[in-house]
A and B are shown apart, each in its own frame.
Chain A
Amino acid sequence: AQSVTQLGSHVSVSEGALVLLRCNYSSSVPPYLFWYVQYPNQGLQLLLKYTSAATLVKGINGFEAEFKKSETSFHLTKPSAHMRDAAEYFCAVSDEYSSASKIIFGSGTRLSIRP
């Protein structure tokens, strides 16, 4: 069965510092992996997704994530944090054998940015 674990429910970094949000997945077949961002009282917006092409995936707002099969990880990074990056971030996984339309979301990581 698929699962996804986000390490750290809350991450705080200084403006201009590196952002690293961790995500580990479990899937018995090659996965599709997603990162979504949610601003307060809004829906989720796709940041980036991995679908078995390049292992380093670039997304919107300067974010990127690297798929590491050996570590079953898909960590999200951004070289320099901005105040506008403060939001909740969700990692998600599905695969071609997913039960119909199943996509599994992690429990989320809240990112705070210190001035």
Chain B
Amino acid sequence: DGGITQSPKYLFRKEGQNVTLSCEQNLNHDAMYWYRQDPGQGLRLIYYSQIVNDFQKGDIAEGYSVSREKKESFPLTVTSAQKNPTAFYLCASSPRQVGTGETQYFGPGTRLLVL
């Protein structure tokens, strides 16, 4: 089955620790995205990538980093510089960039909690 997988489902972070959230897709999509979801605030874009080895900051990139070494993988690292990381993180992909009316397909999400 084609789709997007995210792991782990739940992740706990200690103070000062970097943690990495995994996102893999087997849809052969060019574009991939990371969103943060907080209650009552909808989705906010962290980073996006339109092609391998290229990515751009979204609206709330501070305290986060990404890489896109393979088409199917787009891991997100939450660094110690992110002072309020507790949120639900969603990864998405689209065949091409959404300015062409493309649909974004979402993974099941990772909930990050701070110990």
Binding site for B on A (CB under 8 A): 9, 32, 34, 36, 41-46, 49, 51, 90, 94-103, 105-108
Contacts and interface: CB of A to CB of B under 8 A. Distances in A.
Contacts of B98: 32, 94, 98, 101-103
A109 B112 CA distance: 23
Nearest to B106: A43
Main secondary structure of the interface of A (DSSP, over half): loop
Nearest to B32: A101
Contacts, number: 70
A101 B33 contact: yes
Main secondary structure of the interface of B (DSSP, over half): strand
13 contacts: A32-B98, A36-B106, A43-B109, A44-B90, A51-B101, A95-B99, A96-B100, A97-B99, A101-B94, A101-B98, A102-B98, A103-B98, A107-B41
Contacts of A98: 97-99
A44 B106 contact: yes
